[in-house]
Structure 1
Amino acid sequence: MVSFAQLKDRSPRWVKDAANVATRAAALATASQRPAPDFLVIGTKRGGTTSLHNYLLMHPGVLGLFPQSRGKKSTDWFFADSTHSESWYRSHFHTEAHRERVAARVGHPVMGGEASPYYVWDPRIAAKVAAVAPSVKAVMLVRDPVERAWSHYQERTQNGVEPLDFAAALAAEDQRLEGELERMAADPGYHSTAHDWYSYRSRGVYLPQIQNWLQHFDRKQLLVLRSEDLYTDVQAGFDAVCDFLGLGSHTLPTTRTFNASHRKSSVPEPQRSELARFFAPHNAALADFLGRDLDWT
């Protein structure tokens, strides 16, 4: 028997487009019946956001974006698709009636959310989220910033948008990002690809990103989890997230990673040492804020 997913994959492009238009129209018509997200996984890039999102979808109390069959991780509404209405955003979540039906079937309340590593990195997004979902809970994964920078660079080269070697890319970062934050602040609809793609070093300075988020949310609405803790013991990390979100315990059917790079190599020298020195004071400030050792490079 051919599954729905297989049938969808075999369908012509125009059939998929027509189905998407029809789905969006139906969802928009019931947007007032669709609540804002209960949770967001907000980052960091190359820190396990996709893996954590997939683990959460394995929980019977978590609903993916509507329609769930498409398997989307994020709406991108808070940046790339920000020209759409709030109703358009809500149309991506399930109706209260559907949530009630699922809750009756599984025997406990259910919740919905989305994930994007850009949400904590763009300083404008926290305020936008607070305006739409003030009670949302957010999970931020933080990874050794030296390893994160190298993984980010590898991803950009795999995607064909990084022509420089790692040393040159680090050296060019300040120039590439110069003026981008100011342009973003001046134009709410502007999405900076440079700020997203080439922020290898700056994106690993986590504390200012966390503090910016907490300007708009209570501390109890944010969980900061080391990526290494999730990688080392997936079930334990997942349990911590479920406890934070108020979800019951659930044994994961798989603990494999998702969206991991196939290129495994060590951070080259002398960039590893140079980055370690750069991040040392920032890591110390973050450790002090979190009240725990980070044990990073």
Structure 2
Amino acid sequence: MMTIRDRLKGVVPHQVTHQVRNSLVRYGERTADRRPLPDFLIAGTKRGGTTSLWRYLLEHPLVPRLFPAWNTKTSHYFEENWGRGEAWYRSHFPTERQRRALGQRHGGPVRVGEAAPLYMFHPLVPQRVADLLPDVRLIFLLRDPVERAYSHWKERRTEGRESLDFAEALAREEERTTGERERLIADPTYFSEAYDWYTYRARGRYLEHLEPWLARFDAAQMLILPSEKLYAEPAASYAQVLDFLGLPPHQLKAYEAHNHRRGRAMDPDVRAELSAYFAPHNEALSERLRLRFDWS
């Protein structure tokens, strides 16, 4: 009989078949009691550099990839797959034996995590994380909300999930998402595509979404990093994240910006309207966190 190990010989991440992945998931669930929960979460924000930071971390010898789908950065457990249960979630992470071997090989502590930018925004996730991972380290990348909104729209447009131009999408955001947050709260099994896809403006009200995390976790467990700093000073930002996670220093050969989309400039009138809209929210955020953000 072919074992999991046999099936994986010579297989690279993008070649893993659906059948093999299902076998790996089942194997992971059977061994869930040997798989510690993650040490850290990159919990936000969407279009804030989470993919870049995640890939930088994977280049550290003491940060393993998710199992069994090596080419993903998240399990989507706390927002989309909550009903699958803790054993399913644990199946994504290495066993204690694997962690120990990796630590011995590279002479340092192993840190395991995932990057899921919807975690910050979903109303039920902070409490779910606090219940299951009370000691977890949390990383939030916060990008200028005006630029974040436009980048979010460009992504959805490229994916074919957005038919409206940016100004119209902003104008119809409330209409398209009305009641979705309330339904998420009322029905823990519900997942809302509209709440994920079309919340261009709402996601940029960062303090509103950070407050539930600030209420549940000690400040020492949270690292809030401006995305602009990650883009402009990737090596220094990476070093800061490693220190926060308790990992030894590690230099990368290059700090490539991943999942970056270029396109035409934002309409000046739309930019002006968004800048005015977010100004009081940004000021409140800066005062609450005692951090300065050089945003529009």
TM range (shorter): over 0.9
Give how far 1:109 is off.
Answer: 1.1
1:264 aligns with 2:296: no
Runs of 4+ in 1 over 3 A off after TM superposition: 3-6, 8-11
Alignment of 1:65-104 (within 5 A): 65-67=66-68, 70-104=70-104
CA distance in 2, matches of 1:146, 1:62: 33
CA distance in 1, matches of 2:103, 2:272: 51
> Contact 2:150–2:200 at 8 Å: present in 1 too?
yes
1:224 aligns with 2:224: yes
Change (3 A) 1:230 1:165: same
Q: What is the aligned-residue RMSD (CA, Å)?
A: 1.5
CA distance in 2, matches of 1:200, 1:98: 40
| Cα distance per residue 1:72-126 (max 9 Å; x no partner) | 2100111222221201100110001100000000001101000111000101011
Give the unaligned 5+ runs of structure 1. Answer: none
Change (3 A) 1:9 1:229: closer
> Contact 2:47–2:152 at 8 Å: present in 1 too?
yes
Partner of 1:204: 204
CA distance in 2, matches of 1:280, 1:10: 46
Give the unaligned 5+ runs of structure 2. Answer: 1-8
Change (3 A) 1:10 1:31: closer
Partner of 1:31: 32
Q: Which moved more, 1:138-147 or 1:172-181?
A: 172-181
Partner of 1:22: 23
CA distance in 2, matches of 1:164, 1:153: 9
SS of match in other structure, 1:200: coil
> Which amino acid in 1 is paired with 2:250?
H
TM-score between the two structures when normalised by the length of structure 1: 0.93
SS of match in other structure, 2:84: coil
Partner of 1:40: 41
Change (3 A) 1:129 1:104: same
> Which amino acid in 2 is paired with 1:271?
V
| Cα distance per residue 1:132-151 (max 9 Å; x no partner) | 11111010000001000110
1:63 aligns with 2:64: yes
Alignment of 1:131-142 (within 5 A): 131-142=131-142
| Cα distance per residue 1:203-248 (max 9 Å; x no partner) | 0110111111122211111110000000001110111111111111
CA distance in 1, matches of 2:31, 2:283: 48
Alignment of 1:1-297 (within 5 A): 4-5=10-11, 9=14, 16-67=17-68, 70-261=70-261, 263-297=262-296
CA distance in 2, matches of 1:293, 1:126: 24
Change (3 A) 1:5 1:232: farther
